[in-house]
């Protein structure tokens, strides 16, 4: 099953031609007798600027709420790519409930909007459940992207793996908060989270806030975060072999994201994320 469950909001385009380019894409796929329930869905509707939670100067807001229940022994691939216009504030809340021996492979991309805030929660409620979330984001100008993730291990012998990478240029900023929580009965949990950021300007800024709440005594929980700029030695090495500075920087940025792209199994999704990243890397 391959189904697009949300896309551009045509009414916004009709009200304002400048809204063209506002875009979101969400895809849900399933195999092995999957039964998936979209528990509650508000599909990226746009409201007027008079909504009190955002400044009146903002032309549009985008909101999404998605819940996915994965039944025993089912496998789901869920994709959410956000490439909204720079006039939009985006708010998204996504939650998945995994039952026994179910699998979730989730891809999320953040490339558009002026301000973006996304909450992601995975509840591993059945023994043997496995969750993998792969995130990529690229911000420039004065964009600010904020991700808040929560890995809740409720049952024993569950596994979660969250990996997010982002690049920021000009005056863009990001915040990534990650929490792993292991309940008392969730023995043999294996949980991992990481956030890696590449800064492409002196003004760009990124924060990584990682946390663990472990209430079981037989678990493996690890996390990691890095923040850095383009390595000058790598840049010199590539330029010494005939590449211009811009070409060398583009190659380094591509390499930075490659391991995240390799985690994406669906070729069309991997190509879409790659294209979104390529469009953001400076051309010269």
What are the pLDDT digits (tens) for 109-155?
999 899 999 999 999 999 999 999 999 999 999 999 999 999 999 99
pLDDT at 122: 96
Q: Decide if pLDDT at 41 tops 60.
A: no
CA of 216: how far to CAs of 160, 193, 232, in Å?
A: 16, 18, 44
Dihedral sign computed on CA atoms, order 252, 254, 260, 263: negative
Mean per-residue pLDDT for 190-212? Answer: 95
Mean per-residue pLDDT for 234-238? Answer: 87
Mean per-residue pLDDT for 217-239? Answer: 90
pLDDT at 47: 30
Q: Decide if pLDDT at 266 tops 50.
A: yes
Going by pLDDT thresholds of 50, 70 and 90, the confidence category of residue 28 is low
Tell me which of 170-174, 243-247, 280-284 is least confident: 280-284
Going by pLDDT thresholds of 50, 70 and 90, the confidence category of residue 25 is low
Crossing angle of helices 245-262/232-239, nearest 10°? 120
Interatomic CA distance for residues 236 and 248, integer angstroms: 9
Crossing angle of helices 267-280/245-262, nearest 10°? 150
Mean per-residue pLDDT for 62-76? Answer: 91
Q: Decide if pLDDT at 27 tops 70.
A: no
Q: Decide if pLDDT at 184 tops 80.
A: yes
Task: Report whether 154 contacts 100 (CB < 8 A).
Answer: no
Q: Decide if pLDDT at 35 tops 50.
A: no
CA nearest to 74, candidates 2, 156, 130, 132: 130
pLDDT at 231: 84
The larger pLDDT score, comparing residue 51 to residue 201, is at: 201
Tokens encoding 124: 């591993």
44, burial (CB in 10 Å: exposed 0-12, middle 13-18, buried 19+)? buried
Q: Where are the alpha helices (DSSP H) in 144-189?
A: none
pLDDT at 246: 82
Single pTM value for the model: 0.81
Mean per-residue pLDDT for 196-205? Answer: 94
Q: Which helix (H) or strand (E) holds 206?
A: strand 205-214
CA nearest to 77, candidates 275, 274, 276, 270: 270
Q: Decide if pLDDT at 186 tops 80.
A: yes
Task: Report whether 125 contacts 154 (CB < 8 A).
Answer: yes
Mean pLDDT of the chain: 81
Q: Decide if pLDDT at 199 tops 70.
A: yes
Q: Decide if pLDDT at 12 tops 80.
A: no
In the chain, what is the straight-line distance between the N-terminal and C-terminal CA atoms, in Å? 41
pLDDT at 165: 96
pLDDT at 58: 53
pLDDT at 278: 85
Task: Report whether 197 contacts 167 (CB < 8 A).
Answer: yes
Q: Decide if pLDDT at 44 tops 80.
A: no
Three-class DSSP category at 233:
helix
């Amino acid at each position: 099953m391959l189904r697009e469950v949300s896309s551009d909001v045509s009414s916004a385009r009709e009200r304002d031609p400048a809204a063209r380019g506002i875009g979101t894409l969400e895809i849900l796929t399933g195999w092995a007798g999957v039964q998936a329930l979209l528990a509650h869905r508000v599909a990226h509707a746009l409201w007027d600027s008079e909504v009190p939670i955002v400044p009146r100067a903002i032309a549009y807001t985008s909101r999404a709420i998605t819940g996915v229940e994965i039944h025993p022994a089912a496998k789901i691939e869920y994709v959410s790519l956000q490439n909204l216009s720079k006039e939009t504030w985006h708010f998204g809340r996504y939650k998945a409930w995994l039952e026994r021996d179910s699998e979730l492979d989730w891809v999320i991309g953040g490339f558009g909007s002026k301000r973006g805030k996304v909450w992601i929660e995975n509840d591993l409620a059945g023994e043997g459940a496995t969750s993998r979330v792969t995130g990529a984001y690229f911000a420039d100008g004065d964009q600010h992207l904020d991700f808040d993730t929560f890995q809740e291990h409720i049952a024993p012998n569950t596994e979660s793996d969250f990996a997010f990478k982002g690049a920021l240029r000009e005056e863009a900023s990001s915040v990534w908060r990650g929490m792993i929580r292991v309940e008392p009965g969730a023995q043999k949990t294996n949980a991992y989270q990481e956030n890696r950021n590449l800064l492409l300007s002196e003004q760009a800024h990124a924060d990584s806030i990682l946390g663990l709440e472990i209430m079981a005594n037989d678990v493996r929980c690890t996390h990691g975060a890095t923040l850095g700029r383009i390595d000058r030695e790598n840049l010199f090495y590539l330029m010494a072999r005939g590449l211009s500075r811009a070409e060398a920087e583009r190659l380094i940025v591509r390499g930075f994201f490659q391991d995240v792209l390799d985690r994406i199994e669906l070729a069309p999704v991997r190509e879409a994320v790659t294209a979104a990243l390529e469009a953001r890397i400076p051309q010269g």
